[in-house]
Chain A
Amino acid sequence: MPLNSRTAEQETPPAQASEETIPNGAAAAAILSAGAGACALGILSVVADGSKTIGQWLGFYRPSGPLSGVTTVAVLIWLAVWFVLSKVWRSKSVNLAKTNALAYFLLACGLLLTFPPFADLLLRK
């Protein structure tokens, strides 16, 4: 890194910094990855409920059944997405309208898929 390179926050004092000069990538990564984790949890819960084979495979801790695997894998997906996005977006500014919309959509999918009547409808139970 050249000696004269400075981050956006160093160039402008916080009180005077405008919306454009403060990178939002790290915050967007945290928000979007949480949405992805919620969606992963929803998808996995439906898949584990619909397939006996996958349900058994997700029984990481036998006394808790598939719930242990569903939640463990969802948390790992959330952390992995967060790690990758925060690496890529760390000092960048991203389009928050788009990332937020995607995060809300993923969160809504996760909420819907974990709601038993909707999951039963999908699985034709």
Chain B
Amino acid sequence: MQISVRAFVSAIHGLLFGGFFLLTAFGVLVELSRSINAAQPSELTGRGRSLATFYLCVTAILGWAAVFAGTYIVYPWYRAIPPAGAALTGFPQSLLLASSTTSGWHRLGMEWKEHLAWFAPMLITAVAYVMIKQRSAIAKHPQVRRAVLTFALVAFASAGIAAFFGAMINKHAPVKGGSEIHFLKEP
């Protein structure tokens, strides 16, 4: 069982950081919706507050890890310009643009995703800050609750759109190359 270094790092960016960000951000949305629709505000114990703080920090860290890994590690491999006469399989952007049936994945998909994805960590960091540090404000001001829910929703949607295009682009023109990593060597 083997995988190239670039494909492995790309999987860490998309599946580990991006995928887990979507999971945890959905949890934030559920908690915000629950607290907005609760008949009576619930008070967390000290341990509950610590766990909530940890959860929100992990969510924000996953978001930042996804965009930094994407922008500074995977994206340069994606947009590398092939030398004259080289096969395009190792150059995803050029491969997509070479055909009118796939160029849209770059022109719409990647060009939107590369910017939109950055909304997610910025917005979720603001959401996490308000949920951790401004509990009183969030409990007493319905408008703060609504704004935080809206921002969490946009963060989740941004990450979801970025993840969708990332997966589809990787399906049509996968990032690959570099040395091979062997997980299980057959006898």
Residue in B79, B130, B136 whose CB lies within 8 Å of A22: B136
Q: Which B residues between 112 and 158 are near A, CB-CB below 8 angstroms?
A: 112, 114-116, 118-119, 122-123, 125-126, 129-130, 133-134, 136-141, 143-144, 146-148, 150-151, 154
Complex Cα spacing A100 to B145, Å: 11
Q: B76 CB to closest chain A CB, in angstroms?
A: 3
Complex Cα spacing A18 to B136, Å: 10
Quick check: B146 and A100 within 8 Å, CB to CB? yes
Looking at chain B's contact residues, the main secondary structure is helix
Quick check: A107 and B72 within 8 Å, CB to CB? no
* A26-B134, A26-B137, A38-B122 known; A67-B114 Cβ under 8 A: yes
Q: Please, which residues of chain B bring their CB within 8 A of the CB of A38?
A: 119, 122-123
Complex Cα spacing A37 to B127, Å: 14
Residue in A30, A41, A68 whose CB lies within 8 Å of B71: A68
Kindly supply a per-residue 1/0 record for chain A positions 70-88, scoring 1 wherever the CB is within 8 Å of any chain B CB and 0 otherwise. Answer: 1100110010001000000
Q: Please, which residues of chain B bring their CB within 8 A of the CB of A19?
A: 140-141
Interface residues on B, range: 35 or more
Q: Please, which residues of chain A bring their CB within 8 A of the CB of B67?
A: 71
Complex Cα spacing A26 to B144, Å: 11
* A27-B134, A78-B122 known; A96-B141 Cβ under 8 A: yes
Quick check: B75 and A64 within 8 Å, CB to CB? yes
B34: interface (CB < 8 Å):
no
Residue in B71, B80, B147 whose CB lies within 8 Å of A31: B147
B44: interface (CB < 8 Å):
no
Quick check: A27 and B144 within 8 Å, CB to CB? yes
Complex Cα spacing A28 to B116, Å: 23
A104: interface (CB < 8 Å):
yes
Q: Identify the closest chain B residue to A62 (Cβ).
A: B76
Complex Cα spacing A78 to B75, Å: 23
5 examples of A-B residue contacts, CB within 8 angstroms: A27-B137, A31-B144, A63-B76, A100-B147, A103-B147
| A contact residues vs B (CB 8 Å cutoff) | 9, 14, 17-19, 22-24, 26-28, 30-31, 33-34, 37-38, 41-42, 45, 61, 63-65, 67-68, 70-71, 74-75, 78, 82, 96-97, 100, 103-104, 107, 110-111, 114-117
